[in-house]
Amino acid sequence: MEINYDTGKIVVAGGRRLSGTVRISGAKNAALVLICAATMATEPVILENVPDISDIHVLVRILSEIGLEVSWPAPGTLAVCATTAPQLPPPYQLVKKLRASNLLLGPLLARFGQAQVSLPGGCNIGVRPMDLHFKGLAALGADIRMEKGTVLASAGRLRGARIYLDFPSVGATENIMMAACLAEGQTILENVAKEPEIVDLANFLNCLGARVRGAGTDVIKIEGTDRLGGCLRYNVIPDRIEAGTYMIAAAATRGSVHLSGVISRHLEPLCAKLREAGVSVTEDEESVLVEGGGNYRPIDIKTLPYPGFPTDLQSQMMAFLSTVPGISLITENIFENRYRVADELARMGARIKVEGRLAVIEGVPALQGTQVRASDLRAGAALIIAGLMAQGRTEIYNPGYIFRGYHDIIGKLRALGAEISFQDE
């Protein structure tokens, strides 16, 4: 029987220190874009370390609905074979569930000369326009039109161009980079996003036979090619946001947690902030040990594009800082509406004042368990951390948001000693 995660609740009994080892899964935000990029390959592609989360399953369903061959030869291993032209448009009922389906725009346009994706519209964390995507693809020669909430893109052979991004958007960098791989001539993309997921995408594209240079720096150069081949084994990078979530949970419960299967370099912005707050963090290349306890200090956080502090860990840090004595400050520079969790934390006794992009957090001695509601993926993760810290029992509604981006979070937390369960209603 299929469980409907939108109706159930997650129940957490707080007050236990987390301890033990947790293995980190493949990165949601890398796997999603790699699966989209795989639609440009003219031969089969096998991706490994693909996380078992609902966002991935929605994307896989979209690909099979538009007539592409997708299968799971083994758990965590996804095979994609895009030898036939897709039947567009993808079903609205599916694309409206997954904003990241807009990452199909560049690949389908470049490979098949046309693409249709649903204009995602805003979500709970912000307006999130796609103007930078459209500007970049138009610079490559695409014709982009909107019709009844659908983006219709078409082009003959795309042509390389020099493109400057007004903001280092992750999605726009990814869409333009993918499209430019099949354009004629060279593309120079400036002021681009430098996130590890961008570097993973460039490595994957080069595995398919593309010529992408400079990913991870401010300027990416792409020499276009006529076709991309296949790739029979590509490992998705570990999820730095999932890892960060467990690190913050370890600090918040004053526990001791060892994370394996990470790339600790990707976690530097968080390690620095946890240390500043008085948490002990020990790293080696592929693992991190977080040991909580002692006197914590208030800190200031500003979210920024990578390598700045990631916005996707901001809510989780807010939960942690809600019981750190003193005044901590958070400035959210990426999304204009990413403080909705503050109201739910206030229901648990937190003292947080939000003014525009600034949140002022006055640490309280303890949180109290109660009923709260997740408004998005990372807010949901923050409420789990708050529940683990709180006195008593916390019930978290809208758990579907959390299962979108965390592989087996209940099982992993239980293995670390948490008292947590999912209750279907």
Q: Could you give the residue numbers annotated as active site? A: 123
Token digits of residue 24: 């980190």
The residue with its CB nearest to ligand EPZ is: 171
Question: Under the criterion CB under 6 A, does residue 29 sit at the interface with ligand EPZ?
Answer: yes
- Residues 376-405, one symbol each (x = binds ligand EPZ by CB under 6 A, - = not), give -xx--------------------------x
Give the Cα separation of 316 and 411 in Å (integer): 19
In the complex, minimum distance from the CB of residue 162 to ligand EPZ, in angstroms, rounded to a whole number:
18
Cβ closest to ligand EPZ, residue 32 vs residue 80: 32
Q: Which of 20, 91, 121, 129 binds ligand EPZ (CB under 6 A)?
A: 129
Q: Using H for helix, E for strand and C for coil, what is the string for the chain?
A: CCCCCCCCEEEEECCCCCEEEEECCECHHHHHHHHHHHHHECCCEEEECCCCCHHHHHHHHHHHHCCCEEEEEECCEEEEECCCCCCCCCCHHHHCCCHHHHHHHHHHHHHHCEEEEECCCCECCECCCCHHHHHHHHHCCCEEEEECCEEEEECCCCECCEEECCCCCHHHHHHHHHHHCCCECEEEEECCCCCHHHHHHHHHHHHCCCEEECECECEEEEECCCCECCEEEEECCECHHHHHHHHHHHHHCCCEEEEECCCHHHHHHHHHHHHHCCCEEEEECCEEEEECCCCCCCCEEEECCCCCECHHHHHHHHHHHCCCCCEEEEECCCCCCCCCHHHHHHHCCCEEEEECCEEEEECCCCCECCEEECCCHHHHHHHHHHHHHCECEEEEECCHHHHCCCCCHHHHHHHCCCEEEEECC
Nearer to ligand EPZ, 138 or 289 (CB): 138
In angstroms, what is the minimal distance from the CB of 349 to ligand EPZ? 26
Strand pairing category for 211-213 and 287-291: unpaired
Stretch of 125-133, 271-279, 361-369, 393-401 lying at the interface with ligand EPZ (CB under 6 A): 125-133
Show contacts with ligand EPZ in window 205-234 (CB under 6 A). none
Q: Which one of 335, 397, 403, 406 is in contact with ligand EPZ (CB under 6 A)?
A: 335
Q: Does 106 bind ligand EPZ (CB under 6 A)?
A: no
Contact between 131 and ligand EPZ (CB under 6 A)?
Answer: yes
What residues numbered 295-324 form the site for ligand EPZ, per CB under 6 A?
Answer: 311-312
In the complex with ligand EPZ, the residue whose CB is nearer, 28 or 111, is: 28
**Contact flag: residue 100 with ligand EPZ (CB under 6 A):** yes
Among 60-68, 123-131, 255-263, 317-325, the segment contacting ligand EPZ (CB under 6 A): 123-131
Q: Is there binding between residue 171 and ligand EPZ (CB under 6 A)?
A: yes
Asked if residue 141 binds ligand EPZ (CB under 6 A), the reply is no
Tell me how far CA of residue 383 lies from CA of 190, 249, 315, 341, in angstroms: 38, 11, 9, 8
Which two three-digit tokens encode residue 2?
């299929």
Q: Minimum distance between the CB of residue 284 and ligand EPZ, rounded to whole angstroms?
A: 26
Of 121-129, 260-268, 293-301, 345-353, the segment contacting ligand EPZ by CB under 6 A is 121-129
Residue choice 172, 192, 319, 384 for contact with ligand EPZ (CB under 6 A): 172
Window of 108-116, 127-135, 281-289, 414-422 that interacts with ligand EPZ by CB under 6 A? 127-135
Give the interface size with ligand EPZ as a residue count (CB under 6 A): 25
Smallest Cα–Cα separation from 242: which of 67, 61, 34, 413? 413
- Confirm or reject binding of residue 266 to ligand EPZ (CB under 6 A): no
Amino acid (one-letter) located at 233: R
Stretch of 138-146, 169-177, 181-189, 251-259 lying at the interface with ligand EPZ (CB under 6 A): 169-177
- Residue 310 Cβ vs ligand EPZ, minimum distance, rounded to whole Å: 6
Instruction: Tell me whether residue 189 or residue 324 sits nearer to ligand EPZ (CB atom).
Output: 189
Our CB check for ligand EPZ shows the closer of 18 and 381 to be 381
Closest separation in Å from C-beta 278 to ligand EPZ: 27
Give residues in contact with ligand EPZ (CB under 6 A). Answer: 28-29, 32, 100, 126-133, 167, 169-172, 193, 311-312, 334-335, 377-378, 405
